[in-house]
Amino acid sequence: MRKSVQVGKYVVSDFIASVVVWLLFSLIRYDDVAVYEGFDSFGVYLAHIFLHKWQMLIPLFWLALFWFSGYYNRPFGKSRLTELFSTLGFVTVGVLILFFTFVLNDLPHSYQLYYDMFFSLWGLQFVITYVPRLLITQAGLRKIRCGEWASNVLIIGVGENAFHIAEDLRRLGYHIVGFVSVGAKQEDAVVDRSLRLGDQESLPEIMARERVDELVVALDKAGSTHLLNILYSLYCYKLPIKILADKSSSWSQVKIKTIKGVPLVDVTGNNFLPIEQNIKFFMDKTLSLFFLVVLSPLFLYIAYRVKRDSPGSVFFGQERIGYRGKPFTIYKFRTMYLNAEERGPLLSSENDCRVTPFGRVMRKYRLDELPQFWNVLKGDMSLVGPRPERRYFIDQIVEKAPFYYLLHNVRPGITSLGMVKYGYAENVDQMIERLKYDILYYENMSLMMDITILIYTVKTVFTGKGI
* SS3 per residue for 412-464: CEEECHHHHHCCCCCCHHHHHHHHHHHHHHHHCCCHHHHHHHHHHHHHHHHHC
pLDDT bucket at 260, cuts 50 / 70 / 90? low
| CA torsion through residues 222, 224, 226, 231, sign | positive
Lowest mean pLDDT among 37-51, 65-79, 216-230, 354-368: 37-51
Q: Are 218 and 210 in contact (CB under 8 A)?
A: no
pLDDT top residue among 277 and 26: 277
> Is residue 222 over pLDDT 70?
no
The sign of the torsion formed by the CA atoms of 435, 291, 69, 447 equals positive
| Percentage with pLDDT > 90 across the chain | 48
Tell me the pLDDT tens digit for each residue of 262-308.
Answer: 777 888 878 888 899 999 999 999 999 999 999 999 999 999 999 99
Q: What is the pLDDT of residue 254?
A: 45
Alpha-carbon distances of 75 from 9, 79, 271, 364, rounded to whole Å: 10, 11, 19, 45
Helix, coil or strand: residue 264: strand
**In the structure, what pLDDT confidence band is assigned to residue 184 with cuts at 50, 70 and 90?**
low
pLDDT score at 154: 95
Q: Per-residue pLDDT tens for 340-369? A: 666 666 666 666 778 888 988 898 888 999
What integer pLDDT is reported at residue 89 of this predicted model? 94
The pLDDT of residue 249 is above 90: no
pLDDT of 107 over the 60 cut = no
Residues 6+ apart with CB under 8 A from 120: 25, 28
Q: Is 91 left (phi over 0), alpha (psi -120 to 50) or beta?
A: alpha
Mean pLDDT, residues 378-388: 95
Judged against a pLDDT cut of 50, whether residue 250 lies above it is answered with no
**Which run of H or E residues covers position 132?**
helix 112-145
Summarize pLDDT for 129-155 with one digit per residue, the tens.
Answer: 999 999 999 998 888 877 778 889 999
Q: Which of 99-108, 220-229, 245-254 has the lowest mean pLDDT?
A: 245-254
Q: What is the pLDDT of residue 102?
A: 80
- What residue type is assigned to position 157 of the chain? G
Mean pLDDT throughout 187-213?
Answer: 88
Whole-number pLDDT of residue 223: 63
Out of 96-105, 421-430, 445-454, give the one with best mean pLDDT: 445-454
For the beta carbon of residue 116, count every other beta carbon within 10 angstroms: 14
For position 28, what pLDDT does the model report? Answer: 81
pLDDT exceeds 70 at position 170: yes
Q: Which residue has the higher pLDDT, 46 or 265?
A: 265
The predicted structure's pLDDT at residue 203: 93
| pLDDT score recorded for residue 302 | 95
| Run of H or E including 384 | strand 382-384
Checking if the pLDDT of 331 tops 50, the result is yes
Q: Is the pTM of this model over 0.85?
A: no
For residues 174 and 151, is the Cβ–Cβ distance under 8 A?
A: yes
Q: What angle do CA 335, 340, 341 make, to 5 degrees?
A: 125
Given a contact cutoff of 8 angstroms between Cβ atoms, the answer to whether 271 and 363 are in contact is: no
Query: Residues 89-99: what's their mean pLDDT?
Result: 94
Given this model, what pLDDT does residue 51 score? 59
- The mean predicted confidence, pLDDT, of the chain is 85
Rounded to whole angstroms, the Cα distance separating 421 from 306 reads: 28
Could you tell me what percentage of the chain is helix, strand and coil, using 3-state DSSP and rounding each to the nearest 5? 60, 10, 30
